[in-house]
Amino acid sequence: MCEEKQFPFWEHIEELRKHIIHCFFAIVITTIVLMNNKNIIFDSIIFGPAKKDFITYRLFSNFTRNFLGFNFKPILFLSKNLEIQNRKIFGQFNTYIFTCIIGGIILSFPYILYEFWRFVKPALSKKEKKYSKGIIGIISLLFISGVLFGYYILFPFLINFGYFFKISSLPKNIFDLSDYISLIIYSVFSMGIIFLFPFFIFFLSKIKIISYIFLKKNRKYAILIMLIIASAITPGDILSTIIVFVPLLILYEISIYISYYAIKK
């Protein structure tokens, strides 16, 4: 039983409002910090994968050359910096504001989780409070890991596929600024959400909707679904699909053990 006293409904609403305001100010503060570091955010981070010397390209090139004995870089990766154009009067300003807000949300994600935990904390038992602290850290770690995977792995392969794929030698591939920004945000957010899969499995196992036996029994169907998801969030080429499918498969196998742990505890 929960040892905290019960609050009327409107007091819960008022308490929720306070936590939402705290989250809002956290996003505003981080957004302002990002806006004051425009050169670092855009030149080094946002447009990093558009440069031929991006760390992913260099590491992959070194790996294939030193360990596999050949160089993939001229085939798969940029030989020169991407050309990115802005065709709207306020395109760069709108991109500046929008990107900083999205970055503020990503950086504030752990704090947003913490505020959510503070809101539900009075309704938790002592045992639930003990485990929920660890869960917040795990969720934050999973989300940030997904964001990093989307930025360093998925996004570079997507823009390189878009750059090298041609229906004819006549049209030039010059990326539009808004398309580039949309793709990078899509890449990092989609992978951030996908990497939360083990947490969803933990939650569903706790409320006894699924079990590790169900996950093991239906592994082959899950693999098919993961292949469909990997194809849906990539252009559909084999390499990009495999790049997304592999972490999905690893997360699924981890989720089986997480489900077992959730049910046994």
Q: What is the pLDDT of residues 134-175, one digit of tens each?
A: 778 888 899 999 999 999 999 998 888 888 888 888 888 889
* CB 14 within 8 Å of CB 134: no
- Nearest-10 crossing angle of helices 197-206, 238-264: 30
Q: What mean pLDDT comes out for the span 97-115? A: 93
State which H helix or E strand residue 175 sits in. strand 175-176
- Minimum mean pLDDT range among 16-25, 39-48, 71-80: 71-80
Over residues 241-253, the mean pLDDT reads: 89
d(CA 103, CA 51): 21
What sign has the CA pseudo-torsion 156, 251, 118, 123? Answer: positive
Number of neighbouring beta carbons within 10 Å of residue 102: 18
Q: Give the whole-angstrom CA distance, residue 139 versus residue 227.
A: 24
- Please tell me the predicted confidence (pLDDT) of residue 67: 67
Specify the amino acid at residue 239.
L
Residue 264: pLDDT over 70:
no
pTM over 0.85: no
Confidence band, pLDDT 50/70/90 cuts, at residue 8: low
pLDDT reported for residue 2: 44
